[in-house]
Each structure stands twice: as C-alpha cells, then as structure tokens.
Structure 1
Amino acid sequence: MDTWVLWLLLLQIAVPYPQPVGDGLDEVTRLRTEVRAKLREEETIGLEREVEQLVLKQGAWAWGDLLCSAWQHWQVWALAGLLLLLLALWYWGRKRSLRREEHVGNEEEGDSDLDGEESDMEQYRHRANNFGRIVMERIQWPVQDLQEGCTWTRNLMEHFAIYFRRVLSNSFYPVLQGAIGVGSAFEGWSPREQDVVYQVLIPMTPPRGHSFHLELGTAGQRRLRNFHVRVQQECTCTREQQDKNMLCFLHHPEEELRRCQDPSLLHTLCTGSYLDVEKTARWFYQLVRAIWPALLESHRWHLVLLPSRRSCQLKVTNGRESYRIELLFGVRQGNSDVFVSSQPRQAHTSSTIWPESYAVAEMKFFRYIARRAPPDSLHLKCLQFFTRLQLGLGFSTYTIKTIVMHMLSVLPASQWRRRHFVRRLMDISESLRTCVEMRHLNHFIVGNQRLPQGISLPPEVLMARSRNLFHDLEMDPVAHSQAVSQYVDLHHWLKRILKNEQ
C-alpha cells in the first residue's frame, strides 16, 4: 500500500464523525447510539489493527527494500571487486605470458646467436686450419728426415764408442762416455732447409791417476759462467789403487816415468794445469781418422773431416744421402744434466775456457713437451719457421729458441695445433718485441726452479740469478737501436709473408 493511503486512514481515525443533537434521547436512541459507538469502537480497533499490520508490513517492506538495496550494492561491489580481481589476474597472467614469450624469444635469439657464434667459430677454425695448412705447405721444411738422421747418428756413435774404449783402455787420455744427442736436430727441429747438423756431446771423465776440478772464471766470466777444467794428478801408490802396469806420477822419478810409461794428461792435452779445448779437438780428429776404417760404415760411406778449432766436425756421404755431424766434448757437473763443453759462446774464446752448457737439459725439456703434446702439435714448426725467418737479421737462433721454450712452459700443449699456427707466430714476434724494448730476456735454464722432473741441475745453477741474454743491449744504446731496427724488419717480413699467404 502506498504511503498516502496510510496517512488517509490515520486522518479518519483522528477526526470523529459529528454527533446528532436533539432535545432528548430515548432508550432506543441511546441503545442505538451505544451499538453504533460499540461498532465504531470495534471498527476503530479493527482499523488500528489494520494500520499496525500495514505499518509492520510497510516496515518489513522497507527493511526488505533496504536489505535488498544493500544486497544489491554488495553484489555490485562484489561483482566490481571480482571483475577487478579477474582483471588483475588476467593482466598478471598476460604479463607473465609476455615475459615467458620474451624469455623464450630471447633464448631462441640467444640460441640463434650462439649457433651463429658457433658457426662463426667453426668458420674461423676452418679458415685458420686452411691458412695454417697453406702456410705450412708453402714453407720449405728440411728435406732430411730428422728422426732417421738422429737414429743413424746414434748408431754411428755407438760403433765409435766400441773402438774408443779399446784404443783408450790403457792410456792417460780422457775416458770417453756414451754420446748424448743434443742441439736442434735431436730436439726435433732445424733452422736449416737441407744441411742439418747433428750435434752429439761426448762426456769425458779423467783417466787413471788424474782428477778434474771445475773452476769458475773471473768476474766477467762468472756472469757468463765460463769454467776452467783443472787437471790434477792423484797418488796411485796404495794397494787398492795400484796397477802393476802403472807408475805413480807423484812418487816415481820422472826419468822412470818417461822410460816406462806414457805421458800424463798434463803433458798431452793441457796448457799448464788446465785442459785445453783446441788440443782436445785435434786429438779427437786424430782418433776419428784412425778408427774410421775399422767401422762397417766405412765400406759404404765416405768420410770428410771439416775444419773446426773447438769440436770435431765431419760429413759422411754415400752418393744419395749425407749427414753432417759435430762431435762436442765436455765434463759433467756432478750427476746433473749440466756440462762444461767445448762449444763456444763467443767468437774468440780462450782455449782453456769451457763454457757452461745446458744443451742436455734443453734436449730433455723438448722431449718432455713431445711426450705430452698432441700428434698435430706445431710447436716445433713454429720454432723452425721463426728461426729461419730471422736468419740474417741479427737475432741468434738461441734467442728465438729461448723465447719459444718460455712460451711452451706457459701455454698448454693444446694451444699449439695447426689452427693456432699463425697466432703462435705472432706471439713469438710480440714476445721478441717486448724483450727488445725491455732489453731483457731471461735464460731458460739458469735459475729456473720450475723445470719438469727428470731434468737435474746443480744447486749453484738452480739457485743462481737468471742470466739476461740481452745484457749487451742493456749496456750499449747503439746495439739496442740496432736490435729495434732488426725487429722492425723481422716483423715486417712476417706480416708480409702471412699477408701474401692469405
């Protein structure tokens, strides 16, 4: 029911009907009036009840409307919140999906880039391999098979050693031990194309009644570690040392010694009390010439003795092949791999000076590298190529060899394969440039406490300060300027050769 209907009913109740007025009321009228009043009262009560019911119903309807309205508002807000939540979830899901797609895209792009990089790397390796192969094919490597030449030389020296022992068994000349292959050929490389020199070092021990004593030279010679080999006569009079065919050089008269016994080593190969290199070399020549006809090789090979003051150089040929061999001789320092040898360091070396030699230790180092290097390692090819490149430009072969030995002790063997050939050549050039600029190149053996096991150094060599091979550049500015100019020429030739090969 509308509100205005409720207000109309309340108005009717509040305003009573007018009473009829008369002069007197009879009983019927009174009763009728009472009945009407009673009916009116009942109607009023009924109306009041209806009004209450209407009010209650209207209140219920109002609360229902209010609750319905509130419910509707909650639904709206709930729906709005739900929509916002769904929108947020959708946005978060979409963002995550986009991120995943972007991540996947990046991975795919990264994989694509990686594949591209791997492809580029493979192409680089392929080009490097081809370039290294082309350079190697165009280089004129030594014609001789170095391994075959080393084997032939060892066999020849073993045959010589048999007769050395026979001829010298009862003499007072140095006792010759088994030859040791040294130098570039026995290290596995050669700076020369064809005329390869096979060097062997023959250790010497003192004969009966003699002893060797190594004496380090003067201050200037100490820096270079040059020695004198002092020969001293020993007493042989005791029963343990006495030989019925030998007289004691110290306690027998000189006349009896000259009449009954060969001269002492001091009277044959020494100058004063020191072993003479040049006299020893001449004695070697005579020994080789005397023994050669007894060897089987003399039937098929022709021997030519080449001139040399401090070694014995010979060449053997058979019409098709030829081998050039240099026999060096030296005295071992204790039980180490370091000798004093007849090989000179300078052009004019006194005949009684025996420079310290590390040739055996260096040969053992290259053998150590060869045992651990892969079959396609080119460390020897790099050394051979670079030493040949710099011939005539002023740097010694030993300088380049020292640089490469330092590099071999730092770079793993896997970094010397064919694809690294050009890179290693440039590294050698860069190392040489640095050494020339700094005027300093450490000797590889002296003072090196990180040599592989199996290479034995005497304590004074192991603990010594490393010797600077560029000491002359440090002392002479003119020599340094010349070395810089020589390096520039060398680097120019290297770049030109590599550019032409590309």
Structure 2
Amino acid sequence: MALAFVFSLLAQRVPCVGDYLDEETLNRMQQREEYLQEQMTKLLLEIEEMEMARSRMGLQALLFALLPYWKTVSVLCLFVFLFWFVWKIHKKFRGIEDNSDVESSSSEEQQQEQQEQQEPVVEVEAKDEFVFAEEFWPIHTHQEDGEHILSLLRHLIDICQYIVADTFYPVPAHTTGVGSVYEGWCPLVNKPVFCVVVSLLAPRGHTFHPDLGAPEELPARNSRVRVELECTCGREQEMRMRCFLHASAEELRNQQSNVLRNLCTDSYLDVEKTAQWFQKLIRNAWKYTHLSAMCSMNVTQSKRSCRLQVTDVYKKIFLVEMLFGVQQDDTDIFLSSQETEVGTTPSTIWPQSCTVAEVKFFLLVAARAEERNFYIRYMQVCTYILAGLNFSVYELKTVLMHLLTAIPLEGWHRSYFLERIDDILRYLRCCVEEKHLGHFFIGNEDVPAEIILPQDFRESEPLNLFEHLEDPERHKQALQELEELQDRLLSLLIYGK
C-alpha cells in the first residue's frame, strides 16, 4: 500500500512529458516549414533571374552574330516592301476585289450577279484610290471647248467665203482642228492653244501647184506653192470672168489677179503676205457675225499664222492659232504655213505637214476603242515626265501610234495601264539602242487604209527620227535620259508626283 501511494503521488507531481514534447515539436516543425518555404521562394526567384539573364545574353549574342549582315537584311526588307507596295497598286488599279467573304453556299449565278453589280463601284474606287494625283485623271477635258471654237471658226470661214466670192484672192475652205487638243491628249494647262488648219483653195482662173523640193527629203521641208493662171474659155459666163490667158489686155483692164499681185513673190504664194491678208479678212468677217455683240475677238500679229484671242460671254479667254494649208492632191497631207524652225523659215516655204493625218488616226482609234479615249492618258503621263528632257513629245507620240497599231485596242483598257506604259518605255529603249525610230506615215505598212497618203509616202523607206543619235555623245545622253524617264515614272506611280 505504501508503494502504491508513493507511485500515485509521483504521478500527480511529475508533468506529462509526452504531451509537452509533442507540442514543442509541432511548433518547431511549423517554424522549420516557414523557413523552408522562404528559402524555396528565394531559390525560385534566383533561378528565374538567372534564366532571364541567360535569355538576354542569348538574344544579344544573336544580334551580335547578325550585325555584320544588317545591310543585306535591310536591302532585302526594302525590296520586299517595294514589291508588296507595287503589287498593291497593281491590284487596286485593276479593280481586283476580295471575294473571300462570299458564302460558300451561294450559287455561281448569284456570285456573278453580285460581281456585275459591284464592278462599276470597284472601278471607281480603284480609280479614286490610284496613286496618281487628280490632275492626271480629269473629269473634264478641253475637247468640248475645242469643238465650240471649231464651230465658231467654221462660221467665220463661211463669212470669209462670201466676202472673197467676187475677188481673185484664195478661198478659205474647210477648217480642221489639229494638235493635242483635237487628238484628245492635251496637257493639263490653264490656257491651251486651239490650233486649226484652214485649207486654202486657188481663186477662180488660178491653180496651185506644189513644188516639193528635194525628192529624197520626206516630209519635204522646202516645198513651195506655185500659182499659175488657167484657161477658162467656155466657162467665162459661169465663172463671171474673162480668161486670163486668152482675153485681150483691153478686156482684162478691170480684171487683175489679186493673188499674183498681192500675195505672191516670184509667182510663189508668200506665207507672210497671206497671213497679213487673212488677218484683215477675219477682222471683217467678225463684224458680220452675231456673236460680236456678246463676245470679243482680238487678232494678234503673227508672220505665218493668224492668232486670235476670243473672250466669251463668261469672260473666259481662248487662244486660237489658225494655220494655212494647201492640200496635196486628195490626200491627208498638207503644205502648211507652220514653221520648221522658229524664225528661220523663208516666207515662200510651205513645209509638208502630217498634222491632219495624225488627228484622223486618233479619231479612228477613238471610234474603235471599247473604253472611251483611255489610251490618251498615256500621252498625258508621257508629256508630264518628259519635261526638261531632250526627247520630244512628237517622238513619244510616234511610239504610241506604232504600239496602237501593234497591240489590240482591248489591251489598252485601264486595267492594263502598267503593262502598256512599260511597253512604251521598252519600245523607246529599243529604238534608242538601235538608233532608229521609224516615222509613222512614211514607209509604214501598218498605217490604216482610211488615211490617204501620197504615193511616195507609202513607197519610200521608213524615215528615221533618231538619225541624230549616230552622234556618240547624243546617244549616250539619250540612254541616260531613259533612266531618268524610268525614275520619274516610278516616282509618279508611288508618290503621285
């Protein structure tokens, strides 16, 4: 009993060691866990920083490795960008529409109808979004004004015919609009010059005989118009005159040849005398027109033409130049009063001119073209990029006329603009390299049959307009200017200027 009492007493006084130790161990384990978590977090952060530093070092190493090739890479990127940009321009101009949004379940007929309905809109959008500035694609041209001017001049010519009816002066016949305005590609200037050719007929009792000068020179630059008297016996009553050749001097006392006496030099029609006479004639004709009360007309001095300044009722001013021409037989070639070189053409020289035939050619093309006169935009663009270079507008027009007969007209649609403008420059380059550009109307079998040419024009060898390039210096300069032309065209396509 005593021993049991002692053990019970010890049990009450000694604390429970197992319970106490478990609680302390738990606290220590929790502290240890917190410590380990902190260490793990620090370790993860260190590992992440090491990996980021390693990736930066790898990127820097890659950049340093590519550094010697940066020029090549930049040039390649530039070419890729330019290719993409030109492709986008070509796609916009051709009016290619993305049809990816069309549902696959739509029928082919519905797709075709939608495309037909959207096609005009696409063309307009492509035209509006095209890189050319608006001045290269004007809605209105000078052709309408040109037709009004031509109508006015024809009315004045009718009055002139009435005035000279009982005289022995040349008879102004029909008028033909020539030059860029009437060919349709007039450069976009504020005040274009409306140029017309007034055909002159010999007065009654006279004939005009063209003397073409050197036969090997085509078109003849030194041609003249010889005025001769003709026999009118048997037609005197009809023509209200005596025969100049067979009537007596007494009968011809009150009948003298005005043209031989006043407008000729050594029996050859004088351009300068004819111009002075016609200027007076047109002033008198203006007095009889009903438009003189509403409009005004001033005649300016010119040696070889008649230049007018017409102001309409809206105070709009039109500049007109009337050239004189003597038709060569029944062809579209005229002996013209136009100067070959400014200030150096003698007064009795009437050079051969193809301006009427050129207008007739462009009118034929316009009548056959599916798209109304779009081909003329090529001449406007070429005229724009030619400024300041030695290539003449006539040379570029000759290139265009050759290509218009070689390439079907449906290939001149607006959607083929880039291809055709490239064809023009390629053709020009070939001609410069070969130093030969053939005259369109001389020795060319592709001239339309509707254009009537003299026999020697059709039978002669092609006239070389690039004969001057036989000079090595000129040829070198022409090749350099070709590069300039291509650069200007590229700048126009990309920047619109």
Task: Work out whether the TM-score is over 0.5.
Answer: yes
Structure 2 residue corresponding to 1:209, chosen from 205, 209, 220? 205
The answer as to whether partners of 2:185 and 2:377 remain within 8 angstroms in 1 is yes
Residue of structure 1 equivalent to 2:328 = 333
| Residue 274, structure 1, aligned to residue 265, structure 2 | no
| Residue 495, structure 1, aligned to residue 461, structure 2 | no
| Residue 145, structure 1, aligned to residue 141, structure 2 | yes
Deviations 1:292-320 (A, max 9, x none): 12212222222122343221121212344
Q: How does 1:46-445 map to 2 (within 5 A)?
A: 125-126=91-92, 128-129=94-95, 130=126, 134-140=130-136, 145-218=141-214, 221=217, 224=220, 226-236=222-232, 238-241=233-236, 245-252=240-247, 257=252, 259-318=253-312, 319-347=314-342, 348-375=344-371, 378-445=374-441
- Relative to structure 1, is the Cα distance of residues 383 and 138 closer, same or farther in structure 2, using a 3 angstrom cutoff? same
C-alpha distance in 2 between matches for 1:256 and 1:495: 74
Residue of structure 2 equivalent to 1:45 = none
Q: 1:264: Cα distance to partner?
A: 3.6
Gaps of 5+ in 2: 1-86, 96-125
Q: 1:419: Cα distance to partner?
A: 2.2
C-alpha distance in 2 between matches for 1:211 and 1:127: 57
Counterpart amino acid of residue 141 in structure 2: D
The answer as to whether partners of 1:281 and 1:310 remain within 8 angstroms in 2 is yes
C-alpha distance in 2 between matches for 1:143 and 1:301: 27
Q: Which has the larger radius of gyration?
A: 1
Residue of structure 1 equivalent to 2:83 = none
C-alpha distance in 1 between matches for 2:198 and 2:416: 38
Residue of structure 2 equivalent to 1:471 = 467
SS in 2 for 1:178: strand
Deviations 1:303-362 (A, max 9, x none): 122343221121212344222222111111221211111122323222212111122221
Q: 1:135: Cα distance to partner?
A: 3.6
The answer as to whether partners of 2:297 and 2:310 remain within 8 angstroms in 1 is yes
Counterpart amino acid of residue 203 in structure 2: P
Q: 1:438: Cα distance to partner?
A: 2.0
Q: 1:430: Cα distance to partner?
A: 2.2
C-alpha distance in 2 between matches for 1:469 and 1:167: 43
- Relative to structure 1, is the Cα distance of residues 301 and 482 closer, same or farther in structure 2, using a 3 angstrom cutoff? farther
- Relative to structure 1, is the Cα distance of residues 128 and 462 closer, same or farther in structure 2, using a 3 angstrom cutoff? same
- Relative to structure 1, is the Cα distance of residues 254 and 390 closer, same or farther in structure 2, using a 3 angstrom cutoff? farther
C-alpha distance in 1 between matches for 2:151 and 2:346: 33
SS in 2 for 1:139: helix
Q: 1:123: Cα distance to partner?
A: 9.5
C-alpha distance in 2 between matches for 1:392 and 1:188: 23
The answer as to whether partners of 1:142 and 1:190 remain within 8 angstroms in 2 is no
- Relative to structure 1, is the Cα distance of residues 279 and 143 closer, same or farther in structure 2, using a 3 angstrom cutoff? farther
The answer as to whether partners of 1:387 and 1:397 remain within 8 angstroms in 2 is yes
- Relative to structure 1, is the Cα distance of residues 243 and 223 closer, same or farther in structure 2, using a 3 angstrom cutoff? closer
C-alpha distance in 2 between matches for 1:372 and 1:178: 25
Q: 1:223: Cα distance to partner?
A: 6.2
Gaps of 5+ in 1: 1-120
C-alpha distance in 2 between matches for 1:277 and 1:479: 34
Q: Quote the sequence identity (%).
A: 39
| Residue 452, structure 1, aligned to residue 448, structure 2 | yes
Residue of structure 1 equivalent to 2:475 = 480
Deviations 1:471-491 (A, max 9, x none): 2223x3343333333333333
Higher mean C-alpha deviation, range 181-190 or range 145-154 = 145-154
The answer as to whether partners of 1:204 and 1:331 remain within 8 angstroms in 2 is yes
Question: Normalised by the size of structure 2, how large is the TM-score?
Answer: 0.70
Q: 1:193: Cα distance to partner?
A: 2.1
The answer as to whether partners of 1:125 and 1:419 remain within 8 angstroms in 2 is no
Deviations 1:358-382 (A, max 9, x none): 2222112111111121226521011
Structure 1 or 2: larger helix share?
A: 1
C-alpha distance in 2 between matches for 1:124 and 1:388: 21
C-alpha distance in 1 between matches for 2:419 and 2:297: 44
The answer as to whether partners of 1:131 and 1:501 remain within 8 angstroms in 2 is no
- Relative to structure 1, is the Cα distance of residues 175 and 380 closer, same or farther in structure 2, using a 3 angstrom cutoff? same
Counterpart amino acid of residue 330 in structure 1: G
- Relative to structure 1, is the Cα distance of residues 429 and 289 closer, same or farther in structure 2, using a 3 angstrom cutoff? same
The answer as to whether partners of 2:204 and 2:239 remain within 8 angstroms in 1 is no
SS in 2 for 1:354: coil
C-alpha distance in 2 between matches for 1:346 and 1:165: 31
Counterpart amino acid of residue 388 in structure 2: G
The answer as to whether partners of 1:211 and 1:231 remain within 8 angstroms in 2 is yes
Question: Normalised by the size of structure 1, how large is the TM-score?
Answer: 0.69
Deviations 1:368-406 (A, max 9, x none): 111121226521011112112213322222111111111
The answer as to whether partners of 2:219 and 2:353 remain within 8 angstroms in 1 is no
SS in 2 for 1:395: coil
C-alpha distance in 2 between matches for 1:309 and 1:280: 9
The size of the alignment, in residue pairs, is 380
Counterpart amino acid of residue 317 in structure 1: T
- Relative to structure 1, is the Cα distance of residues 397 and 286 closer, same or farther in structure 2, using a 3 angstrom cutoff? same
Counterpart amino acid of residue 485 in structure 2: L
